[in-house]
Structure 1
Amino acid sequence: MGNKAWFSVVVGFVWLILVNVNNVGAYPVEDLVVKLPGQPKVSFSQYAGYVDVDFNAGRSLFYYFVEADNEPHKKPLTLWLNGGPGCSSVGGGAFTELGPFYPTGDGRGLHRNSMSWNRASNLLFVESPAGVGWSYSNTTSDYNSGDAAAANDMREFMLKWLEKFPTYKSRDLFLTGESYAGHYIPQLAIALLDYNEHSTGFKFNLKGVAIGNPLLRLDRDIPASYEFFWSHGMISDELGLTIMNECDFDDYSLETPHNVTESCTNATTEANQIVGDYIDQYDVILDVCYPSIVEQELRLRKLATKISLGVDVCMSYERRFYFNLPEVQHALHANRTKLPYPWSMCSRGDQDSVVPLLGSRTLIRELAHELKFKITVPYGAWFHKGQVGGWATEYGNLLTFATVRGASHMVPFAQPSRALHLFSSFVHGRRLPNNTRPSIDD
């Protein structure tokens, strides 16, 4: 009996080792993240490193890839890009919103995100374009290259990344992101589809695009911000009416608001001053985190966590502290150029005033009209765990506009459970439930 028991243990142990080696063998071992500092034990694999998108220019993009926590070989591949422009997808998407880990309150470890999107998909986060996070170029002009160049670099990145991870070449591919990714993601989708059209060999298996609180057109999104302030009682009737009547936002750009009058400028300046620094415009219902206090607490190894409505509003400072630890950068194979400055985060829910749903909803309706898509699902509530998860409408069985109730600019951060439901429905091609019965997966 003793010999049989010993034999079964040895066989089980050898089998586990063989499975692990086989999984890693197909992928670049040098990019394998064995374990991040302070990370809890997990069963899925993580990889991080660089992909050279232009060897001659010395331009490389940094990525973080996490496999699905269950049966990754059966799940799709989802790319996530943050916006800004100039904000890190690794810092934002991966370690603040939808990835498997959040930083701990002392900035020196990690804890699990139970609502990570890797429950539904394999996740790929890329710091793009060059100059964001740990991505870099040896050619100075690359740091002012524009959206078209960023899309071309991301297409090159995807081609080379799939050479590193060949089993994902045939996998369903979804492109997702938020904020300025309202520009990045559609332009990347066009670049990938253009590649498919001209390729006689490999073709990207692109299945869908999803962008949250997207910056689409400044002439709609900028006035929507001030309409949000007014509708939420953050500015007066008089000031709101002045902005609506005096401001012409057609062809508006942040660099040269050439057609905005002095009276409009004065009104918007006053509105911004009234809203002030004590409101987080990305989530107007949350308390704010005081930088001087939290930074001192992190240096003293104290917990900097400040919970407001169930979320840690100081997480961005904890994340920055964590990513600047040398042992963290070493574990991620990051910062190979030894940047002379610290890592920093930056060079649509219904509580977001920066890119509120008001402008996005109108633009989606106009897009559907332009494409001659009819309404296939009327605007109405969708449900999650027996409660209203948000509101949604569908056009032409192809285009869906959905809100997440109680969410902010970073939807998965503010409403993780509802966001996971929305994402899971998207990658599985399911409509959001419009009745009060919980879905089978809840």
Structure 2
Amino acid sequence: MEWAEFTEQSHKGRASWTAIQPENKRTATDNALALKEFFQRFPEYQNRKFYITGSFTSESYGGVYVPTLTNLVIKMIQNGTLPNVKLVGMAVGNGELSADQQTNSAVDLLYYRGMLGMQQFDSLKSCCVDNYDQPLTYCNFSQFVVVDDFGNLSPNNNTNDPKAIQCGKLITSFAMDSVWATANDVYNSYQDCYNFTSLSSGGLKGEAGRRTWKAIMGSKRLRASVQQSQDLQSMFSTGSNPFVDQGALYNQGSTDAMGGFACYMDSATQVYLNLPQVRKALHIPDSLPPWVDCNIPVNSQYYHQQNHDMTPVFQSIIDSGYHLNMLIYNGDVDMACNFLGDEWFMENLAGSVYKFNLLSDRFAWNYTRGSFLPQLGGYVKSWSNYNTTSIDLLTVKGAGHFVPTDRPGPALQMIYNFMHTGNYNNSVPFSLDPQPLLPQFAAPPKPSFTRKQADRVWSLPGVTYELNFKQYSGYLNGVPGNYLHYW
């Protein structure tokens, strides 16, 4: 029997309050000790299957937090300091597993998705000596740039080679600026949010401008509140409205098919957390400014990336000999932590370094909702060394950085089958139909109309002046089953 629990914030990590400089090992230690105390306080949860994931199933820097915590928990289990804990798996979604591979893959993705031109792409040929006369394939572009504590790229100026300096500038422009400083949503390339307020880097230039821009984009995502479309009524003569007006239900705030939640969640969160009653409940002093989702001073003080490559941590997990199932998955339209960079990372680790047995080459997995026909959910590839470690590398079609909010149905089927069956094509044993809002969040009830009110014509095509009379049109039910139209 599985159970679900989470810790709200990585203690002394990211934006937690602390007088101690945060670092990843301390974050893992604090969380591991919290887990130990939890299992001691609630022994009924001991020896149950236990998985380590993260917020939104561990996106972005969760690709560091989750593996480092998993690695430490395994060590504690094996040395006896964390008894009766049955850790069976970990899941990382759209994680920052390798800054180098994210850099290398970003250039390719931008070109093959039509966001870089051929001339721009070909300008990088001289940066890849081995492939100079061939079309660009895999190239280690990361050798020409450096990654700072904020995850930003800048040219590697520790050279006197003019070509290397120029390559560094090109890579920074394409793999950094063209990913983050763009009108495309960095977290979902193909989703557009309408009625938003555009952000800018405030005229900042150079490294400082890129740092600020990435911080803003990484949190704000070019999204502000979305004006909800009016619910147009199609009124019948009876005053009831049995007809479903599909046009009125159309999501006009976003191109997303799931209701555009991602387009308004940031702004809705900001409104909620600044409500007086919420600030009071959270014990926020009145002297403090309003909450914002992108706080540059906090970002500069606390958000320092220390693991740009997670290979040593994954190697420690695998070399421990502990039996663990891994799920590494990506929404395939995210550019912040794109699927190709994580794929190259895992291909190198499982295929080249450890030479795991290939259980299944890349194939499509299907998502099934209720009685509907199966539809493509994404692609998956699996490795195993048969004795201890299994790895599933999976993509979710149409999802961006936050897979559970972009594609909740496929995400639920994915995580359920990871935990239960191992076959991602299996449908889940419960309904995936969207559920109505809770009453406290629902819109006010729609007004009812009399038959006369429903028949009134409020506008006439072609009329260019204000009407000084009332016009009605509708149907009269003379005999059962026989309706006469009147105008």
Please say whether Structure 1 and Structure 2 have the same fold, judged by a TM-score greater than 0.5.
yes
User: What CA distance in whole angstroms lies between the structure 2 residues aligned with 1:228 and 1:269?
Assistant: 15
Tell me, yes or no, if structure 1 residue 130 matches structure 2 residue 12: yes
Which residue of the partner structure matches residue 2 of structure 2?
A: 75
Counterparts of 1:389 and 1:378, CA distance in 2: 16
* Residue of structure 2 equivalent to 1:384: 367
1:308 to 246, 255, 265: 255
Aligned CA distance change for structure 1 residues 324 and 165 (closer, same or farther; 3 Å) = farther
For residues 230 and 367 of structure 1, the distance between their equivalents in structure 2, rounded to whole angstroms, comes to 26
Query: Is 1:362 the equivalent of 2:354?
Result: no
CA contact (8 A) 2:24 2:65 kept: yes
Structure 2 SS opposite 1:420? helix
Alignment of 1:202-351 (within 5 A): 202-243=83-124, 245-246=126-127, 248-250=141-143, 252-255=146-149, 257=154, 259=156, 261-268=164-171, 270-271=173-174, 276-288=181-193, 290-291=196-197, 306-310=253-257, 311-312=260-261, 313-328=263-278, 334=282, 340-345=288-293, 347=299, 348-351=330-333
Shift of 1:283: 0.3
Distance 1:208 1:342, change over 3 A: farther
Contact residue 334 and residue 401 of structure 2 kept, 8 A: yes
Aligned residue in 2 for 1:418: 410
SS in 2 for 1:284: coil
Distance 1:389 1:136, change over 3 A: same
Q: Report if the CA contact (8 A) 1:349-1:411 is conserved.
A: yes
The answer to whether the Cα contact below 8 Å between 1:278 and 1:288 also exists between their aligned partners in 2 is: no
Return the alpha-carbon distance in structure 1 between the equivalents of residues 424 and 410 of structure 2.
11
Quote the offset at 1:408 in angstroms: 0.7
- For 2:91, what is the secondary structure of its paired residue? strand
- Note the C-alpha offset of 1:308: 2.8
DSSP-derived class of the 2:90 partner:
strand
Letter in 1 for 2:265: M
The answer for the alignment partner of 2:220 in structure 1 is none
**Conservation of the 8 A alpha-carbon contact between 1:213 and 1:356:** yes
Distance (Å, rounded) in 1 between the aligned partners of 2:165 and 2:76: 46
1:175 corresponds in structure 2 to 52
- Per the alignment, do residues 274 and 392 of structure 1 end up closer, same or farther by CA in structure 2, a change over 3 Å counting? closer
- My pick for the range that moved more, 164-173 or 280-289, is 164-173
Q: CA deviation at 1:123?
A: 3.7
Measured at CA, do residues 439 and 317 of structure 1 come closer, stay the same or move farther in structure 2, by a change above 3 Å?
closer
Identify if the C-alpha distance between structure 1 residues 241 and 159 changes in structure 2 by more than 3 Å, giving closer, same or farther: farther
Of 354, 364, 368 in structure 2, the residue corresponding to residue 371 of structure 1 is 354
Contact 2:111 2:121 in 1 (8 A): yes
Compared with structure 1, are the counterparts of its residues 159 and 335 closer, same or farther at alpha carbon in structure 2 (3 Å cutoff)?
farther
Distance 2:338 2:416 in 1: 23
Q: In the alignment, residue 9 of structure 2 is paired with which amino acid?
A: E
TM-score, normalising length: structure 1: 0.62
The letter for the 1-side match of 2:79 is: H
CA distance change for structure 1 residues 336 and 277 in 2, over 3 Å: closer, same or farther? Answer: same
Gaps of 5+ in 2: 128-139, 158-163, 200-222, 232-251, 300-329, 369-373, 432-487
Q: CA deviation at 1:400?
A: 0.7
Q: Does residue 66 of structure 2 align to residue 185 of structure 1?
A: yes
Q: Deviations over 1:44-83 (max 9, x none)?
A: xxxxxxxxxxxxxxxxxxxxxxxxxxxxxx433xxxxxxx
Q: Which moved more, 1:399-408 or 1:364-373?
A: 364-373
State the AA in 1 paired with 2:8.
Answer: V
Using the alignment, how far apart are the partners of 1:319 and 1:283 within structure 2?
19
Q: Distance in 1 between matches of 2:40 and 2:197?
A: 42
The verdict on how the C-alpha distance between 1:439 and 1:204 changes in structure 2, with shifts beyond 3 A counting, is: closer
Q: CA deviation at 1:189?
A: 0.6
Determine which structure has more spread, i.e. the larger CA radius of gyration: 2
* C-alpha deviation, 1:323, in angstroms: 2.5
Contact 1:350/1:403 (8 A) holds in 2 = yes
**Residue by residue, what CA displacement relative to the aligned partner does 1:312-358 show, whole Å, maximum 9, x if unpaired?**
31211111221233433555xx4579994544446321101121111
Name the SS for the 1:124 alignment partner. coil
Q: Is contact 1:248–1:259 with CA below 8 Å preserved after alignment?
A: no
Distance 1:349 1:165 in 2: 35
Gaps of 5+ in 1: 1-73, 77-121
Task: Write the letter of the residue equivalent to 2:271.
Answer: F
- Alignment partner of 1:153 is 2:30: yes
What is the CA deviation profile of residues 237-265 of structure 1, one whole-angstrom value per residue up to 9, with x for unaligned ones?
A: 22223346437414842358564643234
How has the CA–CA distance of structure 1 residues 405 and 244 changed in structure 2, closer, same or farther, with 3 Å as cutoff? farther
Q: How far apart, in 2, do the equivalents of 1:329 and 1:423 lie?
A: 35
**Structure 1: which amino acid aligns with 2:331?**
G
Please tell me the residue identity of whatever aligns with 2:189.
V
- Whole-angstrom distance in 1 between the partners of 2:289 and 2:74: 37
- Number of aligned residue pairs: give it: 311
TM-aligned CA deviation for residue 174 of structure 1: 0.7
The alpha carbon displacement at 1:166 in A equals 4.3
* DSSP-derived class of the 1:170 partner: coil
Residue equivalent to 1:430: 422
1:229: how far off?
1.0
Is the alpha carbon distance of 1:217 and 1:428 closer, same or farther for their aligned partners in structure 2, counting shifts above 3 Å? same
Check the 8 A contact 1:249/1:259 in 2, yes or no. Answer: no
Deviation at 1:195, TM superposition (A): 1.2
**Counterparts of 1:169 and 1:291, CA distance in 2:** 49
**Residues 75/286 of structure 1: CA separation in 2 closer, same or farther (3 Å cut):** same
- Paired amino acid for 2:2: K
Q: Percent identity?
A: 23
